[in-house]
Structure 1
Amino acid sequence: MGLTVDDLRPVARAAFGRGRVLVSAERLRGGTKKGVYRLTLDDGSTGVAYVWHPREDYWPAQAVPAPDDPFGHATGAGLFAAAHREFTAAGVRVPRLLLAPAATLLPGEVAVVEDVRGGTLQDLRWRDPRRAEAVLARLGDAVRRMHARRRAGSGRPGSGRPGSDGPKAGRAVQRIIFARALRDLSEAAARVERIAAARDRLAATLAERYAAVAPRSRYGLIHGELGPDHVLVDDRDHPVLVDIEGAMFLDVEWEHAFLELRFGDAYPALAVAGLDEDRLCLYRLALHLSLVAGPLRLLDGDFPDRAGMRAIVAHNVARALDQLA
C-alpha cells in the first residue's frame, strides 16, 4: 500500500492533536497482515500506526473457517482491540493505545500506539545477553499471568456475534488442531517431497497422539505467535507484546509448543508447571506441519522476505520428520 505523510496526516491529528505536525512516516519491516508505520512529529516525538487493509496483507485469500475454528486469518482492528483489552486485564504489557481503532481516517482501519524503541527481544539476545536474561524472566511472569486468565470456551476475543466479546464453546480444541494438522499435512505433502514420502507415517502419528488426549473444558489466554520477534523491550527493560491480533483462549500447551520452538535453550525461563504432555506431543507435530504449509502459502504471494520463509519451511520439515524417530 505504501502510505505517505499526506495519507497519514489525518491519523496523526486524531492521535496527537492539531498543534503537532507529522513530518515523516516510515513503513517498518515485519508484519504480514497489516502495515506498520512510525509517525514522527515536528517536536521529535513518535508513535506507531497500524493499518489494516487488504493491500497491506501479504497472505493470499483463504477459505472462511468453521465458526468454532480459532485459527482463521487473524487480522483487523476488532481483534486487535479485543486482544488489547484482554492482555491489559491480565496485567501483560502491550503498547499503550494513543488512538483507538478507527475506520474513517484511511481506506481500511487504523490505530495508533506508543512507539516502543528498545528493539525486539530477539535482537537484545544477540546484543546484550545479560539484559535479555532479565527481560526473559519478566516475560516468563507475563506468560504465567496470561495463561492464568481462563475461560470455559475456546476462541478469539472479539470474534463472536456482534456485541459479544467472549469466546464460544464448540468442538474440542484438540479435535480442531488434529483436523487442521491433517489439512496442513496434505498441503505440505503436495509441495515437499520429503513430507510426501512420510505422509502415511505422519498421519498415523498424528492420529495416535490425538487419541491419547483427554477432554478439557477450560482454556487460557495465549498470544498465538509469541516468538522473541513479537516482544519489544521498553526503556525500563520490560517486555511489550506486539502482533496480538491472533490472541485466543486455547490449550496453553499450544503456546508452549511454540515457545519451545522459538526460544530454544531460553525456554525454561518461560516454562510453567502442570502442562499436559499428551497435548504437547500432538501440538508439537501439528505446529511443525503448520509452519511448513503456512509459509508455503505466504510464498504464493509477493511477501518480500522469501529466503526467511524458505528457511522456516526447511527447518520445520526437518523437525516434523524428527517426530517420527
Structure 2
Amino acid sequence: MSDSAMPVTAQTLAGAVRAAFGTDQRVVSLTRLPGGSRKGAYRLRLADDSTAVAYVWDDAENYWPDSGPGNDDADPFAPATGHALFESAHRHLRAVDVRIPELYLSDDTHTYFPADLAIVEDIRGPGLATILRERAQRATPIMDRLAAALDRMHAQTSPAFGRPSAIARGRLPDAESCEELVFDRARTDLAEAADREPSIAAAHDRLAEALAALRAAVAPRTRYALIHGELGPEHVLVDAHDEPVLIDIEGLMFFDAEWEHVFLRLRYEDYYSHLQSRDLDDARMAFYSLAMHLSLVAGPLRLLDGDFTDRGAMRGIIDHNLGKALRFAA
C-alpha cells in the first residue's frame, strides 16, 4: 500500500517504465482502465507505440471499506488485495501453465512509486465478456481452452485450504473445513443483508434454516483444489491467438472446486456446459449456491457504502442474487 498519495501519471511512472523496458523507453500517454475496485489499472502507451498495463495498489484506488493490509491473510475470504498476493498467484498459475499477463516489473519496495506496483503485458482486443455477448461462434474454442486451464488448476491439490502464500508460512484458517468457513461467512452475510434489504429480513429465519440443512448434508473432505475464486467473464481476457488470459488473480486459493463451479455456473449461464465437471459433489454445490448468492448480496451492499462509481452495476448484482437467494426460502 502507499506511503503517500501521488497521482498516477506518465511522469510519476517514468522510472518504473525505464526499469521495466530500458532507459530509452518512456510513457507517451496513460489511461485508467474501467472496473477494478481494489487496485488501479492503467494502460501505458510507450514511445515505440507498444503498450503495457500498470497495476497500482494504493489506498486511493481501493473502494472497499476495511480492506487494507491489516486483514488476516490466513482467511481465504479476507479482501484479496495487494502485491504479495498478486506475486504468489502469478507464480502458482505460471507453474501449471495457465495463461496470465507476462510480468515485466514487480516492486513492493516503493523504489519507483510510493505504492506497490506491477507492470504487465497488455492484452488488447475484446475480452471474454464481449466475445460471449457478441461473437458466439468465436466463443466455443475459447471456452474449451478455459475449461482445460481450469482442469489444470483444479488438478493441483493441497491437504490444507487457504491462500498459497499463507499456507507456505503455516498460516491456516481457524475453521476446520471449507464448508465450516463458508457456513460462518454465509450467516454473517445473511445478517448483514437482512439489516439492509427488507425482503431478506422477512425471510431471514427460513434462509437460516435452509443454510443449516444444506450444511448438514455435506460430507467431510481432506484435499483442496487450486481455484481462482472469482473467474467471471470480465476476469478473462483473450489474446491474439484466442487463448484465455486470467486477470485479477489475487484471490487465488486452495479450496473446494465446487465453490469455483457455483460461481462459474452463475456467471456463464448458457456457456457453463463447456466448463462443467463431472467430479463435483452435489451436496456442496447446493450449499455453496445459497452461500454464494448471499455473498453476492451482502458484498456489493458493503461496496455501496463507499464511493464506488458504477453503482448501477452493483445494484444489478444485488437484485439478481437477491432473487436467487430467496428461492431457497420458498
Scaled by the length of structure 1, the TM-score of the pair is 0.95
Q: Would the aligned equivalents of 1:25 and 1:38 in 2 still touch at CA under 8 Å? A: yes
Aligned to 2:3: none
**2:156 is the counterpart of 1:149:** yes
Aligned with 1:19 (options 17, 24, 31): 24
Q: Is the Cα–Cα contact under 8 Å of residues 74 and 171 in structure 2 kept in the other structure?
A: no
* Equivalent-residue separation in structure 2 for 1:115 and 1:66 (angstroms): 31
**CA deviation after TM superposition for structure 1 residue 119, in Å:** 2.5
CA distance change for structure 1 residues 169 and 58 in 2, over 3 Å: closer, same or farther? closer
Residue 73 of structure 1: aligned partner: 79
CA–CA distance in structure 2, aligned partners of residues 214 and 143 of structure 1: 24
* 1:92 aligned partner: 98
1:125 CA drift (Å): 1.4
Q: Identity of paired residues, percent?
A: 51
| Partners of 2:131 and 2:139 within 8 A in 1 | yes
Matched, 1:101 2:92: no
In structure 2, the residue matched to 1:83 is 89
Counterpart code for 1:12? V
**Which consecutive unaligned segments of at least 5 residues does structure 1 have?**
none
CA contact (8 A) 2:159 2:223 kept: yes
| Contact 1:231/1:240 (8 A) holds in 2 | yes
Which residue of structure 2 aligns with residue 117 of structure 1?
124
Q: Can you list the C-alpha shifts for 1:274-315, whole angstroms capped at 9, x where unaligned?
A: 201111111000000000000011001110000000110011
Cα contact 2:75–2:172 (8 A) shared by 1:
no
**TM, length-normalised to structure 2:** 0.94
Shift in Å at residue 103 of structure 1? 2.7
Deviation per CA, 1:207-261: give whole Å up to 9, x if none: 0011111111110000010001100000000000000000100001000000000
1:212 partner letter? A
User: Structure 1's 62 and 46: CA in aligned 2 closer, same or farther, altered over 3 A?
Assistant: closer
Does the CA-based 8 Å contact 1:2-1:27 persist in structure 2? no
Contact 1:93/1:240 (8 A) holds in 2: yes
Give the ranges of 4+ consecutive aligned residues of structure 1 lying more than 6 Å apart after TM superposition. none
Q: Letter of the aligned partner of 1:219 in structure 2?
A: Y
Structure 2 residue aligned with 1:6, among 7, 11, 20? 11
Distance 1:124 1:165 in 2: 40
Aligned to 2:329: 324
1:100 Cα deviation from its structure 2 partner: 2.3
C-alpha deviation, 1:271, in angstroms = 0.9
Aligned to 1:255: 260
Deviation at 1:6, TM superposition (A): 1.0
> 1:11-68 CA deviation, whole Å, 9 max, x = no partner?
2111111111211111100111000011111110011111101111000115966664
Distance 1:68 1:7, change over 3 A: closer
RMSD: 1.6
Tell me, in whole angstroms, the C-alpha distance in 2 between the residues paired with 1:4 and 1:192: 41
Evaluate the alpha carbon distance shift between residue 133 and residue 167 of structure 1 in structure 2; reply closer, same or farther with a 3 A threshold.
farther
Change (3 A) 1:47 1:65: closer
CA contact (8 A) 1:154 1:167 kept: no
- Describe how 1:281-292 pairs up with structure 2 within 5 A: 281-292=286-297
Contact 2:41-2:56 within 8 A present in 1 as well: yes
Q: Deviations along 1:175-198, whole A, 9 cap, x unmatched?
A: 000000000000000000000000
Q: In the alignment, is the contact (CA less than 8 A) between 1:84 and 1:244 conserved in 2?
A: yes
Distance in 2 of aligned mates of 1:213 and 1:54: 39
What is the correspondence of 1:220-239 to structure 2 with a 5 Å cutoff?
220-239=225-244
Distance 2:170 2:134 in 1: 40
Matches within 5 A, 1:114-193: 114-160=121-167, 164=168, 168=172, 170=174, 171-193=176-198
- Matches of 2:125 and 2:199, distance apart in 1: 41
Question: 1:90-137: CA deviations, max 9, x gaps?
Answer: 111111111123332212200111000022100111221111111111
Q: Which of 277, 282, 301 lines up with 1:277 in the alignment?
A: 282
Aligned mates of 2:41, 2:56 — CA distance in 1: 6
| 1:75 partner SS | coil
Distance 1:62 1:56 in 2: 12
1:41 to 46, 61, 83: 46
Q: In the comparison of the two structures, how many residue pairs are matched?
A: 322
Say if 1:48 and 1:114, in contact at 8 Å, map to a contact too.
Answer: yes
